[in-house]
Amino acid sequence: MISSYLKAGKIVSKVRDDASKLIKDGMPVLELVNHVEGSIRSEGSEPAFPCNVSINDVTAHYTSPPGDKTLIKEGDLVKLDLGAHVDGFIADTAITVAVGDADERCYVMMDAAREALEDALATIRAGVEVGEIGRVIEEKIHSHGMKPVANLTGHSMDRWILHSGLSIPNITERNPHLLEEGDVLAIEPFATDGVGLVTDMPETHIFRFLRDRPLRLVHARRVLGRIKEEYHALPFAQRWLEEYFEPKRLNASMRMLIQSRAIYPYHVLREKSGALVAQWEHTVIVEKDGCTVITE
């Protein structure tokens, strides 16, 4: 188990660092996500979820839909969030890149999120209250004159489960739950100069298997079977399924699967006031006197 976590962490660290150097004005987002996901596979693992490329006020859950024409532009603040798994053991990491001649506030936000992550990691050990991590993150982000995003959190992970029940806050809150040795956590501060809240957008490009359901369409049953077999309970992108299914029929089946609650759609999230957001993230394994960061 530990060796699988370490292998997944090493892979996503390498892919993250390599991909962050490719981000530039005029780059198609679809090219970036395909590069990241392809690199994860070529390194000997599988994506734990679709590569997220969230730009400016878009905060999370954006991955390219089929045929995406979105381009990265000069001055954009790009959040690159990626994960890999080895036999279901997951490593999750994120970085923010300012493209070209970005506004100075972008760099302040980036510093706030990165330093908040560093302070949080220095706090983690067995026996620490979860609420203490949120306090440390919020204080560091406030020290830069920014706000944490209050309704986004880090999370615990388990085999084949990206969000396994424990939320790690980015703000001060009373949470006396104590970390335990062996916990696997994704710590991910978000910093903004907006109101510090995210809201749903209409778009959904990432999905997750929920349950088997009685379905009228044979094609929808086939799609659901493929999803269950290929991705277990991990998030996936519709564009991944186009390798197996014709796009027009796939669209109809996906609508049915959502309506029947066989799969869960993740809405793209944006900062409520339209402000820029920066993100930094590492995965850690909690130890008695500290933690091992597997995505450094």
Work out the angle between the directed axes of helices 218-231 and 247-259 (0-180°, nearest 10): 80
Annotated ligand binding at 287? The verdict is: no
Catalytic residue among 57, 138, 183, 188: 188
Residue 173 known to bind ligand: no
Q: Does 163 belong to an annotated binding site? A: yes
104 is in an annotated binding site: no
Task: Look up 81 and say whether it is catalytic.
Answer: yes
Q: Indicate if 155 belongs to the active site.
A: yes
Q: What string of H, E and C letters represents the secondary structure of 47-75?
A: ECCCCEEEECCEEECCCCCCCCCCECCCC
Distance between CA atoms of 108 and 276, rounded to whole angstroms?
Answer: 11
From 163, 219, 232, 267, active-site residue: 163
Count Cβ atoms within 10 A of the Cβ of residue 165 and give its class: 0-12 exposed, 13-18 middle, 19 or more buried. exposed
Catalytic residue among 46, 115, 281, 282: 281
Q: Is 101 annotated as a binding residue?
A: no
Q: Is 45 helix (H, G, I), strand (E, B) or coil?
A: coil
Q: Choosing from 37, 46, 76, 81, which is the catalytic residue?
A: 81
The response to whether 92 counts as a known ligand-binding position is yes
> Would you tell me the crossing angle of helices 130-143 and 104-123 to the nearest 10 degrees?
150
Check if 92 is active-site. yes
Residue with tokens 């993230």: 281
Of 155, 183, 193, 271, which one is the catalytic site residue?
Answer: 155
Catalytic, out of 37, 57, 92, 193 = 92
Q: Is 155 annotated to bind ligand?
A: yes
Annotated binding site for substrate: 61, 163
Annotated binding site for a divalent metal cation: 81, 92, 155, 188, 281
Which residues are annotated as catalytic? 81, 92, 155, 163, 188, 281
Annotated binding site: 61, 81, 92, 155, 163, 188, 281
